[in-house]
């Protein structure tokens, strides 16, 4: 269910900064059509940090409603407060959500034991499958392999999204966790190498606008057809890179709006729109790789 191309879905907003339901529906239909494996709703790319708790919940439930069991939905439920993470996770039990993505607590910088106890408390308070999410660049703390291995022993901790870009960790973790533990890249630039080393897929930002292409690359890689996969991925490398030249999700929203997947590229402060010079560079790359515009 959670192998291959999983999209870290953007949260489309209207001119007033509220959820644009029309654009969200369009995005979901786009991913179903182009064989994305699953959708992460309201993760980092979905601007979880600036949504109210009610908005956070409502957007995920609305995503589940639109998807209507046609594609699995993974709910972003991480927080720097263990009690809040538990509260959010329990909100989605019996909702149709298939799993939760739980980021390491940000800002308060817990020790490895603190991280272990945080995720242990969450998993002991829910039956929903949990995917750990490690992104030290954003959170200020690093979930180390030894702690991941400890946590993998819990039945409903089913995998890890690793956005460190550190490929040396893949097999170190893979050979020490339970058989069906999922290792999913959270870094588009190194995702193909990650899969080749034994990973199971990617939670992708690029897939927001190149769903068909990322799905194809993952399918080829998971079948061991690496020469073809690398050939396809080479075309997207400039796009992978420029999408992180300014803070995610600023560039990806600009690209999605240009390709008419969403109506506006609005974000919540303190994030601001892509600079004019960077937008011109982004549009140039989109034209070179011939990504087609969509119709809402």
Across 22-30, average pLDDT = 97
Residues contacting residue 237 through CB under 8 Å, at least 6 positions apart: 189
Write the burial class of residue 109 (CB in 10 Å: 0-12 exposed, 13-18 middle, 19+ buried). middle
Q: Is 133 a catalytic residue?
A: yes
Residue 224 placed within a domain: yes
3, pLDDT greater than 80: yes
pLDDT above 70 for 296: no
Catalytic pick among 3, 98, 161, 216: 161
Feature table: binding site: 45, 203
Residue 39 belongs to domain with CATH number? 3.20.20.70
- Average pLDDT of the segment spanning 204-223: 98
Residues 6+ positions from 21 with CB-CB distance below 8 Å: 62
Please indicate, yes or no, if residue 296 is contained in any of the structural domains: no
Our answer to whether residue 178 is catalytic in this structure is: no
What's the token pair of residue 33?
């059509």
**Total structural domains within the chain:** 1
- Residues annotated as binding site for pyruvate? 45, 203
Catalytic residue among 30, 133, 216, 253: 133
3-class DSSP assignment, residue 229: helix
265 occurs within a structural domain: no
- Does position 290 have pLDDT exceeding 70, yes or no? yes
Residue 116 falls within a domain, yes or no? yes
Strand partners, 182: 159
Residue 42 has pLDDT above 60, yes or no: yes
Specify if 200 maps to a domain: yes
What pLDDT score was predicted for residue 291? 86
* 283 located within any domain: no
Phi, psi of 122 (to 5 degrees): -65, -50
pLDDT for res 1: 78
Tell me, yes or no, whether 239 lies in a domain.
Answer: no
d(CA 22, CA 13): 10
**Residue range(s) defining the domain that contains residue 182:** 4-234
Residue 293, CB-side half-sphere exposure with 13 Å CA sphere: 10
Distance CA 287, CA 92 (A): 40
Q: What is the pLDDT of residue 295?
A: 54
The answer to whether residue 284 sits within a structural domain is no
Q: What is the pLDDT of residue 59?
A: 98
Q: For residue range 43-75, what is the model confidence (pLDDT) as tens digits?
A: 999 999 999 999 999 999 999 999 999 999 999
């Amino acid at each position: 269910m959670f192998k291959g191309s999983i999209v870290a879905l953007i949260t489309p907003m209207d001119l007033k900064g509220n959820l644009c339901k029309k654009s969200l529906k369009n995005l979901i239909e786009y991913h179903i059509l182009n064989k994305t494996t699953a959708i992460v709703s309201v993760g980092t790319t979905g601007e979880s940090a600036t949504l109210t708790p009610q908005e956070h919940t409502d957007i995920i439930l609305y995503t589940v409603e639109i998807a209507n069991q046609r594609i699995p939905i993974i709910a972003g439920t991480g927080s720097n407060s263990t009690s809040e993470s538990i509260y959010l996770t329990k909100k989605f039990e019996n909702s149709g959500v298939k799993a939760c993505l739980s980021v390491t607590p940000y800002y308060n910088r817990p020790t490895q034991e603190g991280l272990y106890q945080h995720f242990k408390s969450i998993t002991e308070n829910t039956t929903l499958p949990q995917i750990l999410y490690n992104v030290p660049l954003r959170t200020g703390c690093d979930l180390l392999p030894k702690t991941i291995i400890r946590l993998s022993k819990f039945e409903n901790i089913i995998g890890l999204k690793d956005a460190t870009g550190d490929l040396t960790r893949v097999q170190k973790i893979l050979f020490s966790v339970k058989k069906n533990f999922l290792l999913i890249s959270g870094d588009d630039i190194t995702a193909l190498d990650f899969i080749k080393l034994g990973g199971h897929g990617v939670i992708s930002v690029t897939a927001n606008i190149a769903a068909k292409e990322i799905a194809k690359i993952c399918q080829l890689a998971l079948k061991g057809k690496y020469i073809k996969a690398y050939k396809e991925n080479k075309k997207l490398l400039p796009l992978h890179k420029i999408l992180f030249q300014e803070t995610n999700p600023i560039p990806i929203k600009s690209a999605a709006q240009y390709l008419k997947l969403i109506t506006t590229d609005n974000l919540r402060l303190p994030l601001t729109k892509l600079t004019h010079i960077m937008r011109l560079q982004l549009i140039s790359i989109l034209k070179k790789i011939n990504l087609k515009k969509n119709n809402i």
